[in-house]
Structure 1
Amino acid sequence: MKIIIAAGTGFLGKNLEKYFTEKGNNVYILTRSPKKENEIYWDAKTIGDWKNILEQSDVLINLAGKSVDCRYHEKNKAEIYHSRINSTKVLQEAVNLCSEPPKIWMNASSATIYVHSEKHLNTEENGIVGDDFSMNICKSWEAEFFRAQNQGMRKIALRTSIVLGNNGGAFPKLKMITKLGLGGKQGRGNQMVSWIHIDDFCKAIEWIIDNENISGPVNITAPNPITNEVLMKKMRRNLKIPFGLNAPVWQLEIASFFLNTETEILLKSRHVYPEKLIESRFQFSFPEFDRTVYNLLREGG
């Protein structure tokens, strides 16, 4: 296949590039800083020569968007919003100009689109979408993505949970704080954490490509969310760390200020279930958190 990954130089993009290249596919990366032969310059805002690479491609995957791991002041809020909307909008313009556009377009979204939920399990069908800054970003993002429908093109919004891997994302940070003896519960610890192993993330993307019946929003997450308290206990047990200091909300507020982030990232309860993947008989390699941690620690040391 010919696969285009827009903004593909981050944690998810690098893993997808490796996964699909090793299977014999041609993968091209759209990036602001091209360094390799398969990387093409784009600014995520305006049409350029990069649009030509979309011709006769099989899959377009858009991962563009400023990281939400920052303080939510007005400047960052605007960048978080515009980086997602503008990249989606300009890709749609480029797709419209193609004589043979991509057959499949997957656009990043987030499991954060669902409300804080400790009891209600959010599927694509019955998920409760709420109303705050983060959820409204996701709603606007998906609305822009699904605004236009191109004949013969399948569109999928990837409502991705926390992706765990050794070469980026949340896992190296979880490992570090656990080793430092700070691996207790955050806040009350009863917030649900939805997560997925990076290998299953890549497998799920391939599965969606191969299954023509899957379209629209798809929850990209393992089927067994756990509470923050249980997650941290499992991290301590697997790392053989006997204790972990709890972090009450007031401490997290202070720490997040100095770490230039927001407590929402740790305290929001993301209780999400991958109904579309399960119903299509996708087989997770790492459905349980213990198995995931064991594998990542064995692979990454």
Structure 2
Amino acid sequence: MLYKKIILAGGNGYLGGVLANYYKDKAGQVIILSRKPKIAEGNISTIVWDGKTAGAWVDELEGADLLINLCGKNVNCRYTKANRGELFSSRLVPTRLLGNVVAGLRQPPALWINITSATIYRHAEDRPQDEDTGEIGYGMSIDICKQWEQTLFDTITPNTRKVALRMGIVLGRSGGAFPRLLNLVRVGMGGRQGDGRQYISWVHEQDAAKCTEWLLQSTAVDGVVNCTAPEAVTNSNFMQLLRDAYGVPFGFPTPVWLMEIGARIIGTETELVFKSRWVKPGKLINGGYQFIFSKAKHAVHDLLAIHI
């Protein structure tokens, strides 16, 4: 065992499951803080919290090697007034709470990673956005990210290093965007969305987990870190890769007007599809992080090996 204890706050979702599985053979304990109780599986246990108030869960953070905060309402929703409020509060309130708790611990976690979002950068079709030269965008989703990161860094935690991990679109076998896109390919709708020129900054689920351990071991790295593969691809090229790998010669494209209608029907926003996220993981590359999957083609083939 390399580590004593890994804490996953709000870790009962898809990415939390990926991280729990990654660390279960690397740590004595993996503890998930969740609103819903769950039976322990090996050394992975769940402790109930509400994300708003301190409780018995606070003691579990003592002596932890790593705290990863994954709290936040899913952005795959309509931006109604009620949803807007919850999108903000479900991120800011737990982050502020964790900051206050960590600041008061005798043996706080060595590293605190807040999983934020690479969507904080502007719509970019001209050049990649890295941590040093990237330009922050505008709009509600960006405002969420800005306040989220500010809440993280405003708390003074002298004995805990902090990283805002700006995560790209996680491609995985059992969750995230990949199964949905694969279903479109299967039914012949796997063409480009809109003009298809918008970039997709993605990361394979194995790298999404592995880079958190790299950050734990890279003690000189803190602040903002982009978590995306080095090779972003356009929507059109990604859908082509997916069709080719799955053996489907053609996919009907989805025009903007049809996406608008579909988004309203299923209760989401077209921004999630049409915004061009061209993000470069400058700190990971410059720090020598070795990606398991740096090319989209290889990631797609790996994931399809399970789905086919």
TM value normalised by structure 2: 0.96
Match of 2:68, SS? strand
Aligned to 2:131: 124
Say whether 1:172 aligns with 2:169: no
AA aligned to 1:177 is L
Which residue of the other structure, out of 2, 26, 31, is the alignment partner of 1:23? 26
Which residue of the other structure, out of 174, 188, 193, is the alignment partner of 2:195? 188
Aligned to 1:289: 296
AA aligned to 2:11 is G
Alignment partners' CA distance in 2, 1:288 and 1:36: 38
Asked if structure 1 preserves the Cα contact closer than 8 Å seen for 2:171 and 2:203, the reply is yes
* Aligned-pair CA distance for 1:22: 2.0
Say whether 1:89 aligns with 2:96: yes
Say whether 1:253 aligns with 2:260: yes
Asked if structure 1 preserves the Cα contact closer than 8 Å seen for 2:9 and 2:32, the reply is yes
Deviation per residue, 1:96-136 (Å, 9 max, x gap): 22111111100111000000011121000011002210101
* Aligned-pair CA distance for 1:76: 0.4
Match of 1:169, SS? coil
Alignment partners' CA distance in 1, 2:227 and 2:129: 12
Aligned to 1:36: 39
AA aligned to 2:307 is G
Match of 1:233, SS? helix
Aligned to 2:13: 10
Asked if structure 1 preserves the Cα contact closer than 8 Å seen for 2:103 and 2:156, the reply is no
* Aligned-pair CA distance for 1:36: 2.2
Asked if structure 1 preserves the Cα contact closer than 8 Å seen for 2:9 and 2:33, the reply is yes
Alignment partners' CA distance in 1, 2:157 and 2:97: 15
AA aligned to 2:25 is E
Alignment partners' CA distance in 2, 1:239 and 1:67: 28
* Aligned-pair CA distance for 1:73: 0.6
Question: In 2 relative to 1, CA 270–25 (structure 1 residues): closer, same or farther, beyond 3 Å?
Answer: farther
Gaps of 5+ in 1: none
Match of 1:22, SS? coil
Aligned to 2:215: 208
RMSD of aligned Cα (Å): 0.9
Aligned to 2:81: 74
* Aligned-pair CA distance for 1:247: 0.7
* Aligned-pair CA distance for 1:299: 2.8
Alignment partners' CA distance in 2, 1:156 and 1:141: 12
Aligned to 2:159: 152
Which residue of the other structure, out of 216, 227, 232, is the alignment partner of 1:220? 227
Aligned to 1:141: 148
Alignment partners' CA distance in 2, 1:163 and 1:187: 21
Aligned to 2:112: 105
* Aligned-pair CA distance for 1:55: 0.8
* Aligned-pair CA distance for 1:300: 3.4
Match of 2:24, SS? helix
Alignment partners' CA distance in 2, 1:263 and 1:159: 21
TM value normalised by structure 1: 0.98
Deviation per residue, 1:22-66 (Å, 9 max, x gap): 224421000000212310011111111111111111111000000
